[in-house]
Structure 1
Amino acid sequence: MPRLTKIYTRKGDDGMTSLGGRQRVPKESARICAYGTVDELNSHIGVAVAHGLDQKLNDALLIIQNELFHLGSDLCFIEADKEKYQLPQIEEKHVNRLEALIDELTAVIGPLENFILPGGSV
C-alpha cells in the first residue's frame, strides 16, 4: 500500500495533481472530481455517525463508508498500479453487499413514494 509521508510538495502544481501511482493528471479530470465527491460523501456519513444513530443504521453507514474507501482507492489508481500495489477494488461482491443492505433498509422504512428533500434537522 502506498504511503504518503508529506501532503505538500512545495513545487506548485500548474493545475495538475498526482494519482496514487504518481501519474500526473489535470485537477479538473473526471477521475479527480469523482474521488473528491466520494471523499465528501464519506465525510458527511462520518458526521451522521458521530451524531449517534440507531445501531442498525449506524452499522449500515459503517459498511457504506468502508465500501467508499474501496471506491476511492479504485479511482485513485490506474489499472496497472492496482495490480502492482495489490489494492482493494470494487467487485461484484461489493455491489451485491450494498444491494442487500438497500433491500434490508427498504424493508424497515418501506418503499419511497417521494423524493427526499435534503435538510431538516440533525
Structure 2
Amino acid sequence: MVRITRVYTGGGDDGSSSLVDGSRRSKSDQRFEVVGCCDELNAALGIVVMEINRLPEHEDGGGSNTIQRVQLVVSSALKRVQNELFDLGGELACDPQKIPQNMVLIGQQQSDVLVDEMDAWLLDLEPL
C-alpha cells in the first residue's frame, strides 16, 4: 500500500498538475476529472464503512446477527474496494505508455471478486 506523507505540492498554481511520471497536464484534463470521481467515491465509501461500524452490536439473535454480518463481511469488502480505488486513481494518474513496472493495476480479477460478493449478498435479499 502507498503511504502519503504530503497531500499538496504547491506546483499547481499555474492551472496545471502532474501525472505520476512528472509530465504536466491542464487541470481541466478529463483524466483529473476521473481521478477526482474515484477520490469522491472513495470518500463516500469511507463514510459508509464508518456508519456500518457505528451500528449497535448485540449478541441477542434476530436482526443484530445481521448487523454483525454486515460489519464483518460488507465493511471488509468496502475497505478492500477503497484500497483498489486508491490504486486505480494512481493508475489513472499515469500516461498509459509510462505506467511504472511495480504499480498495482486493477483488472478483471478485482472486478470478478466484487461481482461474486454482490451476487452472494443478493441471495440474502427478497426479490425486487
TM-score by length of 2: 0.71
Gaps of 5+ in 2: 56-69
Following superposition, the deviation at residue 2 of structure 1 comes to: 9.5
Q: Tell me the equivalent position of 2:83.
A: 66
When residues 110 and 18 of structure 1 are mapped into structure 2, their CA distance, relative to the original with a 3 A threshold, is farther
Output one character per residue of 1:5-26: Cα deviation in whole Å (capped at 9) or x when no partner: 67232x5532211112111111
SS in structure 1 opposite 2:105?
coil
Gaps of 5+ in 1: 114-122
Q: Tell me the equivalent position of 1:83.
A: 100
What is the letter of the counterpart of residue 14 of structure 1?
D
1:101 and 2:117 aligned = yes
Structure label with greater radius of gyration = 2
Q: Tell me the equivalent position of 2:108.
A: 92
Following superposition, the deviation at residue 38 of structure 1 comes to: 0.4
RMSD: 2.5
Q: Tell me the equivalent position of 2:17.
A: 17
Q: Distance in 2 between matches of 1:3 and 1:66?
A: 13
1:46 and 2:46 aligned = yes
Q: Matched residues, percent identical?
A: 28
TM-score by length of 1: 0.74
SS in structure 2 opposite 1:17?
strand
CA contact 1:42–1:68 (8 Å) conserved in 2? yes
